[in-house]
Amino acid sequence: MSFKADTPSVLFVCVKNGGKSQMAAGLMNKIAGDSVATASAGSKPGSAVNALSAEVLAEVGVDISGNIPRRITAEDQARADVVVILGAEAQVDEIPGTLYERWETDEPSDRGIGGIERMRLVRDDILARVTTLHATLTAR
């Protein structure tokens, strides 16, 4: 895989940029350090990071509590080597030269699991996917 810059870059996108995309970016930053440039955005950003998302990331040493949701831009996509869209709801107008993936993440609420336990399962699913993506992006 060739990259647009010296460091591979990934943009995580969900609808509100308050939960799953923020979690994915935070987890990638923890795993990757400086080996991958990471950003997140939303197709229809909300006003704040989801409190339960922030809480379950704090449990694994990642602080996203001060992050502010923002709208995805064409410039974000042009900078990214890979745009990961989390969930079926977010819609992104793809641009040439950027690789796109859609992650249909685990949804524990479909199984009657809610609250903090739901968010931990979502976190763990995203962590496994981020770990695999990091390995792919940094394989030399």
Domain that holds residue 121: 9-138
Whether residue 3 is contained in a domain is answered as: no
Order of strands across the sheet that contains 9-14: 37-42, 9-14, 82-86, 99-103
Query: Whole-angstrom Cα distance, residue 49 to residue 66?
Result: 8
Whether residue 95 is contained in a domain is answered as: yes
Whether residue 132 is contained in a domain is answered as: yes
pLDDT of residue 2: 80
Whether residue 85 is contained in a domain is answered as: yes
- Domain tally, the chain: 1
Q: What is the pLDDT along the chain (140 residues), one digit of tens a residue?
A: 788 889 999 999 999 999 999 999 999 999 999 999 999 999 999 999 999 999 999 999 999 999 999 999 999 999 999 999 999 899 999 999 899 999 998 889 999 999 999 999 999 999 999 999 999 999 97
Question: What CATH number does the domain containing 88 carry?
Answer: 3.40.50.2300
pLDDT of residue 106: 86
